[in-house]
Chain A
C-alpha cells in the first residue's frame, strides 16, 4: 500500500520507472480480471492494454483515492461493461457493421498463456450473470471492497453482497459438477 502511494507520487511527477513498476505489478491481475469478466481472451487483452495506455496518458489528472489496484480494476470493469454493451449492439447489427470496438492495435501473438485451471474457471464464471461475475471478480481479483463495487454498479452494498454470495454458490456448484479443479 505504501509502495503504491510512492509509485503514484513518482508517476504523477513523470517517472517512467514508476509506471513500469505499476505495469509489472498489476498486469497479471488485471488480465485475470478482464478474462473473468469477458471470457474472451482477445477482448480482455485489448481492454487491459487500453486501460494501461489511458492510465499512462492521464498522469497529471489521475486521482487515486483508494488503493491503486482497485482504481485500475474499476477502470477495467468499466471498459469491460462498455465492451459487453457494444457486444449486444454487435449482436443486433449486420455482418458489415461489426467493426472492431476496442483498440485498433493488432498483436500478432496472444498475451495470456492459458492454463487448464484458468480456462475452466473462466468458463464457469461465464455461466454466471454479468452482475454476479462482476461482484466476484472485482472483490476477489480486483481487491475492491463491496462498498466500492456497489458505487461502481450504482446499487446498495446488500445487493452486491447478495450477488457475490449467490454467484459464489453457483460457481462452486458448476465447478463441483465438473470436479476437475
Chain B
C-alpha cells in the first residue's frame, strides 16, 4: 500500500511531454488571437471625430462655421453635388464628349472577345475560340485562341497609305501577308467605342448600375436599327466604369437573322470584356514575325502550297 504522500507526489509530478511542432502551432494561434484582440481594442479606442471637435471651443466654432457654409451653399445650389456623382443622368452631349476625350487619350488597350451561343432552350455556351486584341494608336494585333491553344496571330500595321495585314497560323504552320487600304477598320475596339458613345443620346434603355469585374458600372442598351438597316431585335449594350468613364463591357446580341427567311441562324452574343487601358506591352507586340519553317500561303490554299513546296 502506497502512502498518501507518495500518491499526491505521483499525481502532481506525473511526466508529460509535448510535441514541439504543436507547441509552436498553438502558440502561434494564441499570439494571433492576442494581436487581433489588440488591433480591435485600438480601433475601438479611437475617439470619434465629433467628440474631438466638441472637446475644444475653437474647433467647435470652426465646425459650426463649416456647417453654416455648407448649408448656405446647399440652399443656393440645391442640385449641385448629389447629381454630379451620377453623371449619366445628365445630358449625353456633355458626358459623351468627356468619354470621347478619355478615349482619345488611350495609348493602348487590350481586351478579350468571345462569342456566346444561345441554344433554342435558352441555355448558353461560350465558343471555344476567343480573341485577345492589342490596340495602339496606329497598330492592331489579334491573337486567336482555340481553347488554350494559340491558333493564329493577325497584325494590322501601317504601311504607306494603307495597312499591312500579316497573319501566322500555328495550326497550319503558314503565314500570309497582303496590303489593304485604310486603317484596321471596324474591328478597332476604340473606334467601336467612339461609335457607340456618339449614339448614346439615342439609347433605348438605361441598364442602371452594376458591379462588373469589381468596378461600379453603368450600362446602356441600344437597338442596332438606330444606326443602320438592322433588325430591331439586334441589341448592343455597353457598360462604362462610373469612375473612369471608360468602357468595361460591350455586348452585341443577335437573336435573329438579318434575313428573316434564313433558317439556319444560331442566335449569339459577341462579348468584349477584360479591357486593360494601361497594358504593359512588350515593344515587339506590333512587329509581325514569321516562325521558322512556316510556309507562305493563304490558309484556304494550304494543301496546294504544301504540295508545291514538296515539288520544289
Contacts and interface: CB of A to CB of B under 8 A. Distances in A.
Interface of A: 14, 16, 19-20, 23-24, 27-29, 31-32, 35-36, 45, 48-49, 52-53, 55-60, 105, 107, 109-113, 115, 117-118, 121, 136-137, 140-141, 168-169, 171-172, 175-176, 181
A69 to B, nearest CB: 12
A52 B10 CA distance: 26
Contact of A53 (B19, B29, B38): B29
A109 B29 contact: no
Contacts of B26: 23, 27, 48-49, 52, 111
A111 B22 contact: yes
A141 B12 contact: yes
Given A23-B30, A52-B30, A57-B33, A171 B17 contact: no
Given A31-B16, A56-B37, A172-B2, A109 B21 contact: yes
A31 B18 CA distance: 9
A165 to B, nearest CB: 8
* Secondary structure type dominating chain A contacts: helix
30 contacts: A16-B34, A19-B30, A19-B31, A23-B26, A27-B18, A31-B18, A32-B14, A48-B26, A52-B26, A52-B30, A55-B30, A56-B30, A56-B33, A57-B37, A58-B37, A59-B37, A107-B22, A109-B19, A110-B19, A111-B23, A113-B16, A113-B18, A115-B15, A118-B14, A118-B15, A121-B10, A121-B11, A140-B12, A171-B7, A175-B7
A28 B30 contact: no
Interface in B27-55: 27, 29-31, 33-38, 41
Interface residues of B, number: 30
Contact of A112 (B18, B29, B36): B18
Shortest 6 CB-CB contacts between residues of A and residues of B: A56-B34, A111-B22, A113-B17, A57-B37, A56-B33, A140-B11
B283 interface: no
A16 B2 contact: no
Contact of A111 (B12, B18, B38): B18
B67 interface: no
A32 B16 contact: yes
A49 B30 CA distance: 8
Contact of B22 (A60, A109, A136, A169): A109
Contacts of A115: 15-17
B66 interface: no
B1 interface: yes
B8 interface: yes
B41 A60 contact: yes
Contacts of A20: 27, 31
A128 B251 CA distance: 75
B25 interface: yes
Contacts of B33: 53, 56-57
Interface string B112-145: 0000000000000000000000000000000000
A23 to B, nearest CB: 6
A32 B23 CA distance: 14
Contacts of A109: 19, 21-22
Contacts of A111: 18-19, 22-23, 26
Contacts of B22: 45, 107, 109-111
Given A27-B23, A121-B14, 10 more contacts: A16-B34, A20-B31, A27-B18, A27-B26, A52-B29, A53-B30, A55-B30, A113-B17, A172-B4, A175-B7
Contacts of B19: 109-113
Interface string B190-202: 0000000000000
Nearest to B16: A32
Contact of B14 (A16, A23, A53, A117): A117
Contacts of B4: 168-169, 172
Contacts of A52: 26, 29-30
Nearest to B1: A176
B31 A16 contact: yes
> Which of B7, B11, B31, B36 has most chain A Cβ within 10 Å?
B11
A81 to B, nearest CB: 19
Contact of B27 (A23, A57, A60, A112): A23
A60 B10 CA distance: 37
Nearest to A51: B30
Nearest to A15: B34
